[in-house]
């Protein structure tokens, strides 16, 4: 690894120490304010070095800000997609519940109507057999009309 590549190595945080351990040439800058006297800071070479480091950090900060904005825009897109899907899910669940209710009512009407219609023929001797026959037919017709006419 060349010296140029070593400069850009990021610090690694040790989980035990919780302090970043730096590799490469940036380790020399770790204690910069403590190692330099005010006279050293007045030196033009030191100032140029600090200005170069400041410029590098500003460029890195700008890159991070643009990346942050891109991620924020993607997050907004995902939020919008989430809310749209959540609304669609709620509508579909409501439709499924409504359809299930309609199917249960249709099946109940057909079953009850058929049972009354069939039972009316076995009780032909009774005086109310024609009432059960008509009631069974009306319930079956009501279920069919409800299923195929009113729902659609």
**Rounded to an integer, what distance in angstroms lies between the CA atom of residue 126 and that of residue 132?**
11
What does the pLDDT look like over 59-93, one tens digit per residue?
Answer: 999 999 999 999 999 999 999 999 999 999 999 88
Please measure the distance between the N-terminal and C-terminal CA atoms of the chain and give it in whole angstroms.
73
Taking a C-beta distance cutoff of 8 angstroms, is the pair 46, 29 a contact? no
Residue for token pair 């993607």: 74
Q: Where exactly are the structural domains of the chain?
A: 31-150
Contact 12, 20 (CB under 8 A): yes
In the block, tokens 């109507």 appear at 113
Q: Mind listing the pLDDT tens digit for each residue in 31-67?
A: 555 566 778 778 888 888 888 989 999 999 999 999 9
């Amino acid at each position: 690894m060349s010296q140029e590549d070593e400069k850009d190595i990021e610090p690694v945080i040790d989980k035990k120490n919780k302090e970043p351990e730096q590799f490469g040439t940036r380790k020399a800058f770790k204690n910069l304010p403590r190692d330099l006297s005010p006279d050293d800071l007045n030196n033009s070479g030191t100032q140029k070095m600090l200005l170069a480091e400041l410029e590098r950090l500003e460029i890195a900060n700008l890159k991070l800000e643009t990346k942050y904005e891109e991620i924020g825009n993607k997050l907004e897109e995902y939020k919008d997609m989430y809310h749209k899907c959540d609304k669609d899910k709620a509508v579909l669940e409501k439709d499924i519940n409504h359809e299930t209710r309609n199917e249960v009512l249709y099946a109940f009407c057909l079953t009850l109507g058929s049972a009354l219609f069939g039972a009316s023929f076995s009780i032909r001797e009774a005086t109310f057999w024609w009432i059960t026959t008509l009631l069974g037919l009306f319930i079956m017709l009501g279920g069919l009309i409800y299923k195929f006419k009113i729902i659609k």
